[in-house]
Amino acid sequence: MQAALRYQHWRDLLIELIARDLKVRYQRSFIGIGWSLMKPLMQLAVFSLVFGLILPLNIEHYTTFVFAGVLIWSWFSGAVGAGTNAISSSKELVRRPGFPVMLLPLLTVLGHGVHFVLALPLVIICAMIDVGLPGAPLLALPVMVLLQLLLTVGLVYFLSAAHVFMRDTEHLVALALTVAFYVTPVFYRPIQKTHDLSYLNTWNPMAWVLEGYRAILVYGEWPSLVTMGKILAFGMVTLAASLWWFARVSPRFDEEL
């Protein structure tokens, strides 16, 4: 009974707080939530121009390939970037008796996830025009979304808590995300296994995530179980470790803010 009530309350909190963030960002602008699509669309246009026409990478269905890539990446980088501040920018909520601080990092990731999920139909339409109907493997898409959520949330719990105690985290994260964008095959195909630098992709969880999504959207195949297993394992370990640490240090948050 107690637990059910708490679950309901957490759910209501998430709904209200996510709705607040979305409303505040888009309520007074003309194209509203469409703005969240602008960056990925611009990136799509630039990459299609540069790597489709000027320096051809010769990747088939490059439009779908890169569109999926930039959308998936913008959820990840947006959530990690903003999530690092999730605790330190919510001093008021952290100091409020009874407020579950545990929700804040999840809230940021889900908030950015809303943008991603709303944009997903566009990628699917794009894939349909560019490649053809993805068919049954499309059913695996929600699984991929959940796996990416798991991976991102695990990182964000760790980073948001670290940022409370060391305010350089935010800047380090921004730098790391910039580098990560280029070492992850967002706009190019995964590095050949024989290449000296192939470990940049083979040991990169975001590369696994991209591989999973692209199997469905670009190649119309089921994502490989090995890939999904790797993401799941990595995500679970990260999340468990982050949550353990988060729970340990969260009682000290209010002193540090």
Answer for which of 72, 82, 86, 94 binds another protein (CB under 8 A) is 94
Asked if residue 196 binds another protein (CB under 8 A), the reply is: no
Would you say the C-alpha torsion 31, 36, 40, 46 has a positive or negative sign? positive
**Pairwise CA distance, residues 86 & 82, whole Å:** 7
Minimum Å gap between C-beta 30 and another protein is 15
Give the integer Cα–Cα distance in Å for 169 and 180: 16
CB of 64 to another protein, least distance (A): 37
Q: Is 60 in the site for another protein (CB under 8 A)?
A: no
- Is 30 a residue that touches another protein (CB under 8 A)? no
Q: What b/e sequence results for 53-85 when a residue is b if at least 16 CB atoms lie within 10 Å of its CB, and e otherwise? A: eeeeeebebbbbbbbbbbbbbbbbbbbbbbbbb
Span interacting with another protein, options 132-140, 184-192, 199-207, 249-257, rule CB under 8 A? 249-257
Instruction: By CB under 8 A, name the one of 99, 181, 219, 234 that touches another protein.
Output: 99
Q: How many residues bind another protein (CB under 8 A)?
A: 33
Applying CB under 8 A, among 28, 179, 196, 226 the residue interacting with another protein is 28
Task: Kindly tell me which of 165 and 199 has the beta carbon lying closer to another protein.
Answer: 165
Residue choice 60, 95, 182, 199 for contact with another protein (CB under 8 A):
95
Q: How far apart are CA 67 and CA 124, in angstroms?
A: 10
* Residue closest to 15 by CA, chosen among 114, 82, 91: 114
Tokens found for residue 117: 């999920």
Closest to 106 (Cα-Cα) out of 172, 143, 144, 154: 154
Q: Does 125 bind another protein (CB under 8 A)?
A: no
User: What is the secondary structure of 36-98 as a DSSP string?
Assistant: HHHHHHHHHHHHIIIIIIIS----TTHHHHHHHHHHHHHHHHHHHHHHTTTTTT-HHHHTSTT
Nearest to another protein of 104, 123 (CB atom): 104
Q: Does 7 bind another protein (CB under 8 A)?
A: no
Q: How far is the CB of 256 from another protein (least distance, A)?
A: 6
Using rule CB under 8 A, residue 39 touches another protein: no
Amino acid occupying residue 39: K
Interface residue with another protein, options 55, 168, 192, 196 (CB under 8 A): 168
Q: Is 256 in the site for another protein (CB under 8 A)?
A: yes
Q: Is 254 in the site for another protein (CB under 8 A)?
A: yes
Residue 161 CB, nearest approach to another protein (Å): 13
Lookup: tokens for 214: 């692209």
**Residue 116: how many other CB atoms lie within 10 Å:** 21
Which positions lie near another protein, rule CB under 8 A? 5, 8-9, 12-13, 15-17, 19-20, 23-24, 27-28, 92-99, 165-168, 172, 251-256
